[in-house]
Structure 1
Amino acid sequence: MEGSAAWHLVERCRAATPRDVARGMFFQGVVGVVGFLQGEAAGAQCLEAAGLHALNPGELYPVTRFLKMAARATRLLRPQLGDWDQSLHYIGTQATVDFLASMFGRELMQMSRRDPRRLLQHLADGYQTAVSYGERTVLWTGERSARFVMRRDFMPAPYHEGVLLGALEAVGAQDVRVHGRQLSLLDSEYDVSW
């Protein structure tokens, strides 16, 4: 892997424990995006990179497998999407689509009542239904702006920029802006406004 393409993959994998797991719906989203943009064989390469043959959307899988899959996906998508950050952003947006289509996501949408403020607050708590690790908090900076803080999360900032953008657009927020910063290997924060 080249430079930023690895986004410190080895260090991120070393920081994970066997208890750090994510639902299969995120894996399926990656395979689906890559398969749609690059073909079925490319999607199969992503499964192979994760050491998997099949996926169950509700099952929990080690986050290290997801990291390896996402790394392969960014390499496959980079020629079409332009760079690593764009590829991660695109995968993150698709993760939101997949999450919101799940039972957990539908419940989140119902609780938010299509209100971006409620959505962000519930999203911070809702992560726990999809992954076993990390903590997320929302710090309100205005009526239509917030800082979304993630601690001990394994994906880099561009991925979560896509997640937050997709979630806010799903509830009808207009002119959404998301700017993320990596604070450390596993910590990041996002200025969000709409």
Structure 2
Amino acid sequence: MRDPTATPHSPPHGSEEELRMLLASLPERAAVRGMLFNAVLEVARQRGGEAAVQRCLAALGEKKFLDFFSYPSGKYLELLYTTARLGGGDTEDFETVLRHMGQQAAVNFLVSAAGRTLLVLVQGDPHRLLNSLPWAIQVGVSGVEVAVRLTGPWSGVLTVKRDFSPRPYVEGGFLATFETARVKGARVRSWRAGPGTNEYELSWD
């Protein structure tokens, strides 16, 4: 499935060229919590067993990741792409796995102390949840800037600057978060709003 926002000069989705371009555009001091690395490794285990997990760790030069330690975002991107390629599938399969990893990352966050606190505070209210997402994102990922604007009674848009994560991955995370908070009919779509800036429209019933 071709990305409708891709330009004629965009590298193929899931390609090594795309990964290198993302790595080159990482913001300074960008870092990711270990819990998100571990979520990706859970998906690697589902796709290829323990051997796949060990291959991923060896490729990154790591033995394990501690949930609340921060690690370089470059390693995180490399892990995302390595795991999404495990099945050797086409672009559509690559995006499906990215969404699955985003869902797992949200699940790992929401069972943590910070995630449980978030769910208690929002109490299933989609507006509260939408307004809390910038904080939730910044708990797991440093170096990004997130703004929220309501676009109607049942929708809003998050603008994420210095966003290096693949959009299908982020979409999966948002959907899983809304579903866990018991928001009905949650939907998400995204587009590139400029260099290093993506927008995510969230809507619900």
Q: State the TM-score, normalizing by the size of structure 1.
A: 0.91
* Equivalent residue number for residue 4 of structure 1: 13
Compute the displacement of 1:174 (Å).
Answer: 1.5
| Structure 1 residue 139, shift from structure 2 partner | 1.1
SS in 2 for 1:3: coil
1:89-108 map, 5 Å:
89-108=99-118
Q: How many residues are aligned here? A: 193
- Counterpart of 1:54? 64
Alignment of 1:152-167 (within 5 A): 152-167=162-177
1:84 alignment partner, one of 78, 88, 94? 94
- Shift of residue 163, structure 1, vs aligned partner: 1.0
- Whether the 8 Å contact between 2:122 and 2:129 is mirrored in structure 1 is yes
CA contact (8 A) 1:111 1:122 kept: no
Would you say 1:130 and 2:135 are equivalent positions? no
1:76 and 1:164 map into 2 onto residues whose CA distance is 24
Q: Which deviates more from structure 2 when the two are superposed, residues 48-57 or residues 64-73? A: 48-57
1:147 equivalenced with 2:157 (yes/no)? yes
Residues 64-102 of structure 1 show CA distances to partners (whole Å, capped at 9, x for unaligned) of: 000000010110145499521111111111110011111
Report the Cα offset of residue 159 of structure 1. Answer: 0.8
Match 2:129 to one of 98, 119, 122: 119
Select between 125-134 and 61-70 the one with higher mean Cα deviation.
Answer: 125-134
Q: How much has 1:18 moved relative to structure 2?
A: 5.7
Mind listing any 5+ residue stretches in structure 1 that lack a counterpart? Answer: none
Q: What secondary structure sits across from 1:83 in the alignment?
A: helix
**Match in the other structure for 2:24:** 14
The CA distance in 2 between the partners of 1:9 and 1:79, in whole Å, is: 17
SS of residue in 2 equivalent to 1:5: coil
Deviation, 1:17, is 5.1
Q: Could you tell me which amino acid in structure 2 is paired with residue 3 of structure 1?
A: P
Amino acid at match of 2:172: G
Identify if the C-alpha distance between structure 1 residues 186 and 26 changes in structure 2 by more than 3 Å, giving closer, same or farther.
Answer: same
Misfit runs of 4+, over 6 Å? none
- The Cα of 1:147 is off from its aligned counterpart by 1.1
35-44 or 54-63: which moved more? Answer: 35-44
> Which has more helix, going by share of residues?
1
Measured in 1, the distance between the counterparts of 2:91 and 2:101 equals 11
Q: Does structure 2 retain, via aligned residues, the 8 Å contact 1:23–1:58?
A: yes
